[in-house]
Amino acid sequence: MMDFLSHYGLIGIFILAVAEAIFLPVPVETLLIPFAVINPKMIVFAIIVSTLGSVIGAGIGNKLGKYGEKHIVSRIINKKKLDVSKKYFAKFGVWAIGIAALTPLPYKIFALISGVVGIGIGKVLTVSFMARGTRFSAVCLWAMYYGTNIS
């Protein structure tokens, strides 16, 4: 991990954030926390980069859900999970993606399904920016506060 960070740094965090919001099961925090501990003066940049990457990934996921529901989403998400996720959107609207962005719920699935249920990309990007920015800020501040004592 440290070799990856030293070689790719913020670009690696950005790429991971985009990929994680679309399909990759590796959370951004796996790179974000060590980066924040090693580079505390660059935490603001790390928050911005990870947030923007995640928001771009959510936008791509939204469009994939909108235009590829039958061909992509149905192959990735089983019908039961799709139905449960649709219920979250029916109950919370666009804030369902905000809840997923802040919690361990599968953010990538909610990004895809936001397109399936017809939530506009502007709303998805706005809520994702607020929620992911909050999450990554909290993670970085936590990492900065505890520093190398994290274990």
Taking only the tens place, the pLDDT of each residue in 129-147 is 999 999 999 999 999 888 7
Contact 31, 4 (CB under 8 A): yes
Q: Which two tokens stand for residue 76?
A: 């990735």
**Reported confidence tier of residue 150, pLDDT bands at 50, 70, 90:** low
Q: Which two tokens stand for residue 144?
A: 């900065």
Q: Show me where the domains of the chain are located.
A: 2-149
Q: Is the pLDDT of residue 5 over 70?
A: no
**Residue 97, pLDDT score:** 93
**Residue 2, pLDDT score:** 59
**Reported confidence tier of residue 151, pLDDT bands at 50, 70, 90:** low
Query: How far is Cα 132 from Cα 102, in angstroms, rounded to an integer?
Result: 6
Q: Is the pLDDT of residue 68 over 80?
A: yes
